[in-house]
Amino acid sequence: MTEMTLIEAIRQAMDEEMARDPNVFIVGEDVGIRGGVFRATVGLFDKYGADRVIDSPLAELSIVGVGIGAALYGMKPICEIQFSDFIYPAYNQIISEAAKMCYRSNGEWTVPMVIRAPYGGGIGGGLYHSQSPEAMFAQVPGLKVVIPSNPYDAKGLLKSAVRDPNPVIFFEPKKGYRLIKGEVPEGEFTVPIGPARISRAGTDVSVFAYGMMHYYALQAAEKVAAEGISVEVVDLRTLYPVDRETILASVQRTGKALIVHEANLTGGYGAEVAATIAEGAFTDLDAPVRRLCGPDVPGVPFSHPLQDWFMPNPEKISSAIRELARY
């Protein structure tokens, strides 16, 4: 076991997959000689060369569109979108092309590719370096949407994503890139895309979260445990397809559900989790389902107090848990 940061785990996953499969290549802005603006690809350019770590023109739609073409030919692109805020020019290629290719060609063509994109706020990034657009992708059949919350999962899930025969959108909690550390075993392992994970067992309240908010949810659970509230934390990990079984089983145990994400409340991923619970565990509920999310404003504001107002954090999560526990 080695302790490493989230971003080190991501880099290691790419390195190992590139060593394993010569068809794997990286394409994106500044991924080459610079090693990425977050340094996710550092060292890979020197190791694998300019042909496999490609500095693209500054144009997101063709990073994805060209990646799709290469995937159709049998390559395995890992496309990096520098910030998830900049993914929208590529939205047409992702939604109209990558997601629909297999279905629309009756399986004649598939698009095995990974699109990595750092997401999330709390880093002073303002409206355009802080976004969490996962809900816009986690409702699109044909895509898989993955968000890791710790180095072990980041490495194992990214390796699974590279080996997956479908387009996988891999959102990385950038605030946690160096903040979140954890043990990662030596040697080969993968984490399957699909199942959520119960990261802390509890009996009073279920908290559903992913990425950075999962990290905070664990801190909040620890905090309220001292007050006698037993919290079960579920790391959703794969947002699409949805692991309804794990969600429902947890609510059946606790009878109370809190969903946390930093993306906007309305139409956010939490709405799907809440609907899942309403449909499948209504009679198990002892309290209304509660969502703690980013407010419905167009983006995370830059100025510190405004950013703090926007972002969920361990304190806000703890308060929401206490309210639910008291209900």
Partner 1 sequence: MELTKEQRIEMYWMMLLARRLDERAWVLHRQGKIAFHISGIGQEAAQVGAAFALNRGEDWVTPYYRDLALMICLGYTPREFVLSLMGKQGEPSSGGRQMPSHWSLRRANAVSHSAPVATQACHAAGIALAMKMQKKDQVVLTTIGEGSTSQGEWYEAVNWAAVHQLPVIFLVENNQYAISVPQEKQMAVRSSADKACGLGLEGLTVDGTDPYKVYEVVARAAEKARSGNGPTVIEARMYRITPHSSDDDDRTYRSREEVEEHKQRDPILVVRSRLEQEGLLTPEQVEGMEARAREMVDDAVQFATQAPYPNVEEGTYPVYAEEVRHD
Q: Which residues are catalytic?
A: 129
In this complex, which beta carbon is closest to partner 1, that of residue 19 or of residue 278?
19
Residue 296: exposure state from Cβ atoms within 10 A (0-12, 13-18, ≥19): exposed
Distance, CA of 227 to CA of 268 (rounded, Å): 30
How far is Cα of residue 175 from the mean position of the Cα atoms in its chain? 12
Is the separation of the CB atoms in 312 and 250 below 8 Å? no
Quick check: 61 binds partner 1 (CB under 8 A)?
yes
Asked if residue 71 binds partner 1 (CB under 8 A), the reply is: yes
Nearest distance in Å: CB 106, partner 1: 3
By CB under 8 A, tell whether 266 contacts partner 1.
Answer: no
Contact 213, 260 (CB under 8 A): yes
- Please identify, using beta-carbon distances, which residue of 10 and 162 lies nearer to partner 1: 162
Pick the piece of the chain touching partner 1 (CB under 8 A) from 101-109, 221-229, 247-255, 264-272: 101-109
Helix (H) or strand (E) holding 240: strand 238-240
Binding region for partner 1 (CB under 8 A) out of 4-12, 89-97, 155-163, 221-229: 89-97
**Based on the number of CB atoms within 10 Å of its own CB, is 223 exposed (0-12), middle (13-18) or buried (19 or more)?**
middle
- Residues 15-34 touching partner 1, rule: CB under 8 A, are 25
* 89 versus 301: smaller Cβ distance to partner 1: 89
Shortest Å distance, C-beta 326 to partner 1: 43
* Smallest gap from residue 159 Cβ to partner 1 (A): 17
Element (H, E) at 83: none
Segment interacting with partner 1, rule: CB under 8 A, options 71-79, 207-215, 258-266, 302-310: 71-79
Would you report the helix, strand and coil content of the chain in percent, each value rounded to 5?
40, 20, 40
Tell which positions 105-164 bind partner 1, by CB under 8 A.
105-110, 112, 141-142, 144
Q: What minimum distance in Å lies between the beta carbon of 108 and partner 1?
A: 4
Nearest-approach distance from CB 302 to partner 1, in angstroms: 28
CB-nearer residue toward partner 1: 72 or 123 = 72
- Which part of the chain contacts partner 1 (CB under 8 A), choosing from 90-98, 228-236, 277-285, 301-309? 90-98
263, 294 in Cβ contact below 8 A? yes
Give CA–CA dist 106/84, Å, rounded.
30
According to the binding rule CB under 8 A, does residue 168 interact with partner 1?
no
Q: What are phi and psi of 239, to 5 degrees?
A: -85, -30
Compute the least distance from the CB of residue 109 to partner 1, in Å.
5
Is residue 56 within a helix (H) or strand (E), and if so which, with residue range? none
- Cβ(193)–Cβ(163) below 8 Å: no
Number of C-beta neighbours around residue 126 at 10 A: 16
**Is residue 188 at the binding interface for partner 1, with CB under 8 A as the rule?**
no
Using CB under 8 A as the binding criterion, the count of chain residues that bind partner 1 stands at 43
The three-point CA angle 195-213-253 to 5° equals 50
Contact 261, 249 (CB under 8 A): no
**Residue with Cβ nearer partner 1 (100 or 244):** 100
The residues of the shown chain that bind partner 1, judged by CB under 8 A, are 25, 51-52, 56-57, 59, 61-62, 64-75, 77, 89, 92-93, 96-97, 100-110, 112, 141-142, 144, 165-166
